Amino acid sequence: MISDTEPVVLLPRPAEVKGLEVHLFDGEACDGVPGPPPAELLARVELLVTPYLRTGTVLPLLSAMPRLRVVQTQTAGVDDILPHLPAGVTLCNARGVHDASTAELAVALTLAALRDIPGFVRGQDVEQWRAGFYPALADRRVLIVGYGSVGAAIEDRLLPFEVAVERVARTARTEAAGPVHALADLPALLPGADVVILAVPLTAETAGLVDAEFLAAMPDGALLVNVARGPVVRTEALLAELTAGRLRAALDVTDPEPLPAGHPLWHAPGVLISPHVGGSSSAFQPRADRLVAAQLTRFAAGEPLANVIAW
């Protein structure tokens, strides 16, 4: 629909909302034409939904959108777009969209690392029967660092495994599930954690949070699971603990990322690596579509938007 008066929105997937002029840009083609949107269209865009896993395709276009008022990401983290956001533009993230998918992977990585599923796969490859006793998740003390919507979804999926959960967020508070500790409490909490799951956003406060001191506070044999962002963990410090055989790790994200060929983290003992697929599952699209549709409806009606990021 073309209108001279309706606000123009640029989306990666079709959506129809009364009162908006909708155009499609998926990072590769605009309204079916390969390449970026034409300059005359960019000049009229007021709301942009970034293409999933292709945020980089829109970053060079932001300066060509003088009427831009809102950027809606399809990711929970916004560290990639925040430095490029024009002044005065509202940024909304995809809080809630990735909860189910990321929580599933966090639990899957935890179970796989504890029960040594990678070892069984390697054994199958060489027709080797690797019987024995392996650590269970049951009766473990799990520390979730980053108790937002993803962290809460992880806890929901952990509880049936008969674990004890401690929660950590930027500041202390009380939730229905129980008390949430502040980041400042980590030195007292880490020595009692068998599994530490990272689900924090990447910010100035969390970059390098998991350093040599953090890791040294974890008990021998503990497992670090990272479904947050790679730079939350100091890679060299983690490598030192893995090489010594004192800690284990299951990482969906790394620093650097993608992890280059030849990097020592690939073959460090006790590490399981997945290629940053926490949010990339069949659970993503229906939840993303619902969020975008709801945001467009609010935008068209002049109502307050959800998931606004304050910085």
- Catalytic residue among 6, 46, 104, 257, which? 257
- The CATH number given to whatever domain includes residue 191 is 3.40.50.720
Q: What is the rounded distance in angstroms from the CA atom of residue 201 to the CA atom of residue 207?
A: 9
pLDDT in tens, 136-157: 999 999 999 999 999 999 999 9
pLDDT for 2: 45
* 197 occurs within a structural domain: yes
Task: Indicate if 74 and 182 belong to the same structural domain.
Answer: no
Which two three-digit tokens encode residue 65? 């959108």
Task: Indicate if 19 and 54 belong to the same structural domain.
Answer: yes
Give just the sign of the alpha carbon dihedral 214, 153, 304, 93.
positive
Task: Indicate if 295 and 218 belong to the same structural domain.
Answer: no
Q: Is 21 annotated as catalytic?
A: no
Task: Indicate if 174 and 71 belong to the same structural domain.
Answer: no
Number of structural domains (the chain) is 2
- Catalytic residue among 95, 140, 276, 287, which? 276
Name the pTM for this structure.
Answer: 0.90
pLDDT in tens, 76-87: 889 899 999 999
* 3 occurs within a structural domain: no
Task: Indicate if 152 and 86 belong to the same structural domain.
Answer: no
pLDDT in tens, 174-195: 999 999 999 999 999 999 999 9
- Catalytic residue among 229, 234, 248, 287, which? 229
- How many CA atoms are closer than 13 Å to the CA of 72, on its beta-carbon side? 26
Residue 19: domain span: 8-97+283-301
* 310 occurs within a structural domain: no
* 175 occurs within a structural domain: yes
Cα 95 off chain centre by:
10
Q: Is 257 annotated as catalytic?
A: yes
* 278 occurs within a structural domain: no
The radius of gyration computed from the CA coordinates of the chain, to the nearest angstrom, equals 22
pLDDT for 94: 95
Task: Indicate if 137 and 250 belong to the same structural domain.
Answer: yes
* 309 occurs within a structural domain: no
**To which residue do tokens 């969390």 refer?**
206
Task: Indicate if 142 and 52 belong to the same structural domain.
Answer: no
* 308 occurs within a structural domain: no
Task: Indicate if 82 and 192 belong to the same structural domain.
Answer: no
* 93 occurs within a structural domain: yes
Task: Indicate if 288 and 173 belong to the same structural domain.
Answer: no
